[in-house]
Structures are given as structure tokens and as C-alpha cells.
């Protein structure tokens, strides 16, 4: 496929990384992500797998080199492997450098081998506790043994695993050092993430919020953390843990704006492109997708979106201590 590298935003940043959500549904109900009683989108609102493939192809033509598939939980989408098989074609002809996946791990036991066969080489697994009871409390519906089995299946399939952990005050706060030791002991990189104010949830966001500056200070009592210039193209800033030799990333949307080198946009499962996770500016791609079998309208909408990409996000803890909340949930926006 002939690519045209013209996805340059108003601040001169080249957009070459697409994060695409394939479903808003998830088999977990994590306390920082969803309310207990979620209402999911009608199936007709979601892009079909064929539309998702066409959308990805349009971005690839414009110079996107990396695609991350997310959700919700992407592996609960019926027939999802058809999309991965299609994306493999772009890997094979050199149009794409990488297809990756963010997952909660619940379905990896079923799909790890097939993902590897489709050219996926690395995955991010969201895992917030290694204590079965605490894991159940965080996810409400998850089973830790099932996730650990899925991680083992991914390793056997040859997938490189990175663990993503949301830091939650008084929940996993005092487990994070042990989780880091476990991850590095398995040969996994790890990234810790501040909870983000996306969507209304049942609990109090402020009580969940744990600044990673505080986490890092606590970890430094047990480990030697050496700053590094290592980057994966995402927002994490990495250190090397001297005692383990492994890498640890910090994603800090609240305490440290990471936008100066942003190279990505997100497309929701309904075909809405958000140019910034922390802004509400958006462009609809579903209407032009469905309006014509040709791609002229779709290409125009993509270029319009990139032209309005903001300098940075505006996640804040306001002066009353209450986080500003975006009206959309993370499972809809894409993790």
C-alpha cells in the first residue's frame, strides 16, 4: 500500500500511531473505569469489522505505522480475529510496523496463539493486583487465576508482555513494589498509570487518586530507579530498576503533562476520532464511512481531525480537589 505521510498536526507533530477501540463491552467492571450498572451501546452504533478494517486502511495510507487495538475488552468482540488477520496483510507488505493489543487478559488463553500467528508481537495486559480477593474487588467480575493463565498462554505463544497497573490509593498502593518485583521476575516490563477522570463512576475519584510522584518515592525506598531515554512511542516515561534490570514506565496525565511529543489519535468503536484523550474535540468518521464506498469523504474527515489536534490535554485536579470529569467512559474511548 502506498502511504502518504501527511498527518501533521498544527504543532508540527507527525501522527503515526492509531489507537482503535473495537467494542465498548468488557467482561470486567473495574471500579475506576465503569459504574456497576453500565449501559452499553446498541450494536448498530458500532463500526462493523469491515468498517474498522477500512478505517485502519485509510489511516495507514496517510502514514500511520503503528496500530493498537483496544476496547472495552477487544477480545470479547465476536469475530475480532478477522480484523487481526486483515491487519497482518499490512504488516506483511511493510505498510505497518506493528499491531499491538491492550487486554485485561481474560481471553488470552483462547486467543494468544492466533494473535501471534497474525503478527502481533507484544501486548499490554491490565493487571491491578496479584491478590485474588483484591483483584475481584477492583474488577468486580474478574478471576485472577484466569488472567494469570492467559498471561502464561501469551508467553508460550511468544508474545512480549507488558503489565499496565493503575495506582489506586488504599487499594493496591502498598502492593505496587511487590507487583513490580513479580513482573520483572517474569521478564515483563511494567507501566504504572494515574487514574484518569473519564466517565462517571460509583465511587469518589479523589479517594482513588494516587499521584505517581508519591508512588515513585515509595518505590525508591526499595529499588534504585535510574532515568532512561527509552521510549515506546507512547506517553510513558521510563526508568530502569537497577536491582531487577527491568524497565518501569510512569504515565502521569494528572501530575505531569506528557503532550509535547504526542503522535497519536484515538478512534472509538463508533467511529469517532478524539485527537486528545483529555479533550472533547472530536470528528465523526462513521458518517463518511457509511456515506460512500469511496474514501474521499473519509480521508477529508481524517485530515480535518488532524488539523484540530490540540497542543495538550486538560486533566486537572481543581482547587477544591475534585478532578474534572470527561463525560465519556474509558471503555468507550478506548484504553
Buried-exposed string 195-204: b where 16+ CB fall within 10 A, e elsewhere: bbbbbebeee
Mean pLDDT of the chain: 89
pLDDT of the residue at 320: 47
Cβ atoms of 201 and 166 closer than 8 Å: no
C-alpha cell at 146: 484466569
The pTM is what?
A: 0.88
CA distance from start to end of the chain: 28
Confidence grade of residue 335 (pLDDT, cut at 50, 70, 90) = low
| Residue of 31, 2, 10 whose CA lies nearest to 201 | 31
Distance CA 285, CA 282 (A): 10
Q: Which residue shows C-alpha cell 494469570?
A: 148
pLDDT at 312 > cutoff 80 = no
Confidence grade of residue 195 (pLDDT, cut at 50, 70, 90) = confident
pLDDT, tens digit, 9 for 90 and up, residues 178-189 = 999 999 999 999
pLDDT of the residue at 34: 82
pLDDT of the residue at 35: 80
Q: Ramachandran region of residue 182, left (φ > 0), alpha (ψ -120 to 50) or beta?
A: alpha
From 27-36, 261-270, 309-318, the region with the lowest mean pLDDT: 309-318
pLDDT at 302 > cutoff 80 = yes
Amino acid at each position: 500500500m502506498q502511504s502518504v505521510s501527511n498527518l501533521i498536526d498544527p504543532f508540527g507533530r507527525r501522527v503515526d500511531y492509531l489507537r482503535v477501540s473495537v467494542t465498548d463491552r468488557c467482561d470486567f467492571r473495574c471500579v475506576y473505569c465503569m459504574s456497576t450498572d453500565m449501559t452499553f451501546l446498541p450494536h448498530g452504533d458500532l463500526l462493523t469489522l469491515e468498517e474498522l478494517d477500512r478505517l485502519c486502511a485509510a489511516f495507514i495510507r496517510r502514514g500511520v505505522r503503528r496500530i493498537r487495538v483496544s476496547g472495552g475488552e477487544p477480545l470479547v468482540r465476536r469475530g475480532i480475529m478477522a480484523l487481526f488477520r486483515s491487519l497482518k496483510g499490512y504488516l506483511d507488505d511493510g505498510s505497518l510496523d506493528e499491531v499491538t493489543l491492550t487486554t485485561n487478559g481474560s481471553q488470552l488463553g483462547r486467543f494468544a496463539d492466533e494473535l501471534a500467528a497474525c503478527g502481533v508481537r507484544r501486548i499490554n495486559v491490565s493487571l491491578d493486583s496479584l491478590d485474588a480477593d483484591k483483584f475481584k474487588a477492583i474488577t468486580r467480575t474478574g478471576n485472577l487465576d484466569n488472567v494469570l493463565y492467559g498471561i502464561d498462554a501469551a508467553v508460550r505463544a511468544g508474545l512480549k508482555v507488558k503489565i499496565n497497573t493503575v495506582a489506586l490509593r488504599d487499594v493496591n498502593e502498598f502492593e505496587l513494589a511487590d507487583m513490580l518485583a513479580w513482573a520483572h521476575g517474569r521478564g515483563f516490563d511494567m507501566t504504572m498509570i494515574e487514574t484518569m477522570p473519564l466517565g462517571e463512576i460509583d465511587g469518589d475519584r479523589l479517594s482513588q487518586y494516587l499521584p505517581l510522584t508519591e508512588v515513585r518515592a515509595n518505590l525508591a525506598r526499595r529499588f534504585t530507579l535510574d532515568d532512561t531515554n527509552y521510549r515506546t512511542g507512547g506517553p510513558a516515561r521510563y526508568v530502569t530498576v537497577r536491582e531487577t534490570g527491568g524497565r518501569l514506565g510512569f504515565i502521569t496525565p494528572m501530575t505531569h503533562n506528557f503532550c509535547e511529543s504526542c503522535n497519536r489519535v484515538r478512534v472509538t468503536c463508533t467511529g469517532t476520532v478524539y485527537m486528545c484523550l483529555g479533550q472533547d474535540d472530536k470528528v465523526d468518521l462513521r458518517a463518511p464511512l457509511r456515506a460512500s464506498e469511496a474514501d474521499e469523504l473519509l480521508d477529508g474527515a481524517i485530515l480535518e481531525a488532524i488539523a484540530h489536534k490540540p497542543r495538550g490535554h486538560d486533566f486537572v485536579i481543581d482547587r477544591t480537589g475534585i478532578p474534572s470529569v470527561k463525560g465519556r467512559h474509558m471503555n468507550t474511548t478506548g484504553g
